[in-house]
Structure formats: structure tokens, C-alpha cells
Structure 1
């Protein structure tokens, strides 16, 4: 049965609603960045540019880097935007937009996030790279989907007990990265750990301006959580949504973080643009390195 127009919305030119893209516009290897201005920071390294478009905060450029076709997409901030981007990218490759039916043979995308993040552990310094081995979703967005098959109940229950998690909040969900893609991107210069994904920048990440928090000690509890030697290493706003939706839709995903702040030490990078630029160059080289 065809998917209804109200559920799969297309623009008059046949492109997908928010991203303004058609299937031929994207590669199967896609880099996510948050900031639309960061798209060009990645694509300036490309040998050729094939296509570019922008609608709202969603800017996409597709081109060739060392003989590999890559798309770069700005997602904006937060898990709600990732919900839009990943569902629409999946529709581009796995739904026939003319017949509005799911294709028989599905395509798996390789998705690599390049973003900034703050470290929660004293021993993960600013100006370092961190690969998210897992993500813990604190926002609740993923709970609207059937997530039982991708969850890690043992770790989730340990986290709930350790933090005395408020039952009025969404149930925390742990999702792993794609191991094969992570092995390609990782190296001995990259830290690894569990990334916490919050649904906001201030209260959800323990920042206080004029509003009090439901749990003043939550950040300390998150920092001290340890499950069989695995700690929550950093905090940001997209990774769990990328990992969760990718797992559910059959795509491969890994999140690379430029650590520009250390919340435990109260420090911030003196040159955050440089560490982001270095991470971009590192990740691009890893993507095209046939020896990895």
C-alpha cells in the first residue's frame, strides 16, 4: 500500500520535504555536521563539487574526495532534527518516491558525525578526539519507536539505579555504534567512551541560569557512572538519535567528537576551530583509506 501524502511529504519538484533532496543528490557515505557553515569546512577538501542545496538549517553538498563520493549535511542542533534528517535520508534510498512504496532491496548508508562536545572526565583533555562507542539517550525521542531490539537493559537499569533517575523523565536508552565503521575510523590517538545525548543545552545538560534543576546533582551522578569499566565520557545533543535511528533503519553510524570543553576541569579550548579542522581532515582520510 502506498505511503500517504501526509506521512511522506514531497515538494512540488519531487524532492523530500525538509532536506530538499532527490535520491540522485546523495552519496551512500554521508558526513553529518551540526552547523551549516561547517559544511564548507569539510567540502573545501573535496576535489570536485557535484551538487549543493540548502533549505532552512539543512545544507547538503555532494562531491568527490580522493575518488570517493561523499555527501555532507548540516543537521542543526538536537535529536528532533536528527529525526527529520535520518528518516528523510532513508526515504531517499529505501522508498520509491514516485510509487510511495518501500523498495524490495534496501540500501545501507554509512553515516559519520563530526561534531563538538564537552568531556565529563578529567582524563579526557580538551583538543582531543573521541569516538562514541555507545550513546545514552536522555532526551526520550527514540522511545516513540520500537526500540526493544537495540536497547541494552542491563546498562540502562544500572544507570537508572546509580542516578536515582526520576520516573517522570524518559527511560534512558543505550545504543552502540556500528562496529565495522568504528574500526575503520578509530586509531590509537582517539579516545572512546559512552556519549550522553541531552535534549537541550541548558537544564538538560545541568546548566543553571535563572531556572532551577529537578536534580542538582545529576551531572555528578552521570560523571561517576561506571559499568564494567565503561564511563560516560562526554555530553552533546545528537549522537544517540543518530545511533538509534541508524540501527532501526539498517544504516551504519559512528560519531566523532572534537572535545572543546572539559566540564570536570572547567576548561575550554583556546582554539576550537583548529581542533574541529583537524578532526575533519582526520576523518576524511580515514573514510578513504583502503588499508583500514
Structure 2
């Protein structure tokens, strides 16, 4: 059990700030605290959440759909590649929706379910550390990254602004350095006549290193093609990711190319992929002391302009990797509790 850094509200959360229905369920996810497991898979697509729940989880305790958000809790039975059988793990799979604004709602509710006593609306003195891994899809930025490769995020470059509303210190000097360097790179790449030139300032967040190691080990055990790198989280799918298909000019053209060419100076790691959620996931959880990570198969290669129409196979591999990593991380958490 943990007590975590950060300031809790001085008084109980109001009914307006934390809506709870007559059955004790939080407003958007429509589950109770008892129905949440501390080991969580987060996916953007509600259909994918249903698929994972019914394919990889057994003995489902709850499966709820509300406002397009599917949340299910059951038991996963992760198996490693060397006939390693991990103890069954109580696991929740939840829908984040598309983009960081939707994710912000879901993450706050997941954390509230863990940290707040719903009977009194006050913070619990002790609560388990959450382990949350995003399993998503992404566009690959490096020509050498083959379709279907799972990208394990080490750092996320936040091109959204959701994280800017939550004050947390930089996790390390790398985050601080990259924020400065990327602000300069993006300002230089903006159109000289753009009204928004100099106003786009990325924030950088870090995946929990233990989660990165667990995902890397699990991918190796399962024989899943994976690569560790940096992930760009964008505020949209089209122009924010360099897809210029509308009649409005982009303020900063070819963002996909700009990031693909950027050298982060991290022992050969490159900016590997673009998606829309990892930045805030890692920023928010890291600031609270919970552990977050992301593994996102490349289903499009932006340098080759190719698309993987059979990407479900890669999603299944990433899901198995994430479940095996959660099982290993849970064992470590249980061992720390006993010590």
C-alpha cells in the first residue's frame, strides 16, 4: 500500500467535483471502487476493450459500457515464452477514448476509484500503486521500423496541451532538455507568417523505467517484435500528425518528418512513433507516483506511406506482452508489500 506525493483536497470532494450515482458508481466509467483492479490495460477503442476482455480475461466480474467507454474486470492468465506460467492476475481493461481530453477523464476516475473513499468522499490514507499500460496503435516514423513492430515508449513528447494543466516536476534532466530543444525545433519549422509561431511548446514525460523493462522482457519471452524509443503524442490525427488533407494550411508543416529527423541524444534511441495518448498518461501517473507505460504496434509507416491491414495480429501480441508485464510487475509489488 502507498501514500503518494502531491496535495490532496483539504476537504471532501463535492458531488459536483466527483459525481457518484445512487449505486456508488463513478459517473463516466460506471463502476465501483471494488470493481477496479490495480493492474490495468488501457485501450482507445471500446471494441478493442471488449475483444481483450472476452479473449484474454476469464471469470469476468463486471463488464460495463457507458458513454462509449467499456470497462471490464476479470482474471488474466499470462504465460511466458519459456513455459513460464505466472499466477492468475486480477486485471481491468478500460477504454480511454481518442486523445488526451478523453483520457484525462478516464485517468482521473481510475485514480479516484483507487485513492478516494466513496462513502466519505475523502482520500484514503493507504491505497495500492496502480500499474497502467496503454495498448494502442501508432504510426511509425523511422523507415527502418517494420509494420507490426511494437514500440515500447521510454519518453513521450506531448504535443497536446492537456498535461499543461497538471503541475508536476520534470521526472529527470532528459525531459527538461528535450522540452527546450523541441520548442526551438518546432518554432523554427513553423511558417514564418503563422499567428501561432512560437506558441507550441511540447512537454515531455517519462514512462516508469520498471514498466519499460517489464515490457521489454515480456516481448523477448513471447517473441514479439519490439523496439524501445520515444513517442510523440499529438492533439489530433491529421495535421497535428503531418497529414495535410484539408484546405486549411498547417501552421507547422510536415510534423511527422520533423520528429523522424530529430535526434534526442539518447544512446541511439529515436523518435519512433506518433499516437494521441501516451504523453498525458505518463505525465499524470508519474506525478502521482503510480506506474505507467505504453506499447503501441506500428500499423502505418509514415516514411514509406504503407499501412498494415492485418494489424489485429500485432495488437494481440502487444496485449499478451502487456499482460505478462503486468503480471511480473504485480509480483514485485506484492513482494514489496510483504517486505
TM-score (normalizing by structure 2): 0.81
Matched, 1:268 2:299: no
Q: Look up the match of 1:19.
A: 29
Question: Retained in 1: the 8 A contact 2:211–2:325?
Answer: no
Pick from 171, 175, 178: which aligns with 2:205?
Answer: 175
Matched, 1:232 2:253: no
Pick from 163, 171, 176: which aligns with 1:142?
Answer: 163
Pick from 90, 107, 127: which aligns with 1:106?
Answer: 127
Q: Distance in 1 between matches of 2:171 and 2:143?
A: 30
Pick from 164, 171, 180: which aligns with 1:157?
Answer: 180
Q: Distance in 2 between matches of 1:158 and 1:256?
A: 25
Q: Distance in 2 between matches of 1:277 and 1:133?
A: 21
Q: Look up the match of 2:257.
A: 220
Using the TM superposition, give the Cα deviation of residue 83 of structure 1 relative to its aligned residue in structure 2, in angstroms. 0.5
Once the two structures are overlaid, the 10-residue window that deviates more, 44-53 or 16-25, is 44-53
Q: Give the secondary structure class of the aligned counterpart of 2:293.
A: strand
Q: Distance in 1 between matches of 2:181 and 2:293?
A: 24
Q: Give the secondary structure class of the aligned counterpart of 2:317.
A: helix
Matched, 1:63 2:74: yes
Question: Retained in 2: the 8 A contact 1:138–1:173?
Answer: yes
Q: Distance in 1 between matches of 2:92 and 2:30?
A: 14
- Structure 2: stretches of 5+ with no match in the other structure: 1-10, 78-87, 189-196, 333-339
Q: Look up the match of 2:115.
A: 94
Cα 1:34–1:20 shift into 2, 3 Å: same
Q: Distance in 2 between matches of 1:130 and 1:202?
A: 21
CA distances 1:242-264 after superposition (whole Å, capped 9, x unpaired): 10111122210110111111001
Q: Look up the match of 1:244.
A: 283
- Could you say which structure has the higher strand fraction? 1
Matched, 1:46 2:57: yes
Matched, 1:28 2:51: no
Q: Look up the match of 1:284.
A: 323
Using the TM superposition, give the Cα deviation of residue 103 of structure 1 relative to its aligned residue in structure 2, in angstroms. 1.5
Q: Look up the match of 2:297.
A: 258
Q: Look up the match of 1:199.
A: 235
Once the two structures are overlaid, the 10-residue window that deviates more, 249-258 or 6-15, is 6-15
Using the TM superposition, give the Cα deviation of residue 106 of structure 1 relative to its aligned residue in structure 2, in angstroms. 3.5
Using the TM superposition, give the Cα deviation of residue 78 of structure 1 relative to its aligned residue in structure 2, in angstroms. 0.5
Q: Give the secondary structure class of the aligned counterpart of 2:103.
A: helix
TM-score (normalizing by structure 1): 0.94
Pick from 97, 103, 108: which aligns with 1:76?
Answer: 97
CA distances 1:19-78 after superposition (whole Å, capped 9, x unpaired): 111100110100001111112322212232121111112111111112210000111110
Q: Give the secondary structure class of the aligned counterpart of 1:126.
A: coil
Q: Distance in 1 between matches of 2:227 and 2:40?
A: 22
Alignment RMSD: 1.8
Q: Distance in 1 between matches of 2:24 and 2:67?
A: 18
Question: Retained in 2: the 8 A contact 1:137–1:197?
Answer: yes
Using the TM superposition, give the Cα deviation of residue 220 of structure 1 relative to its aligned residue in structure 2, in angstroms. 2.1
Q: Give the secondary structure class of the aligned counterpart of 1:47.
A: strand
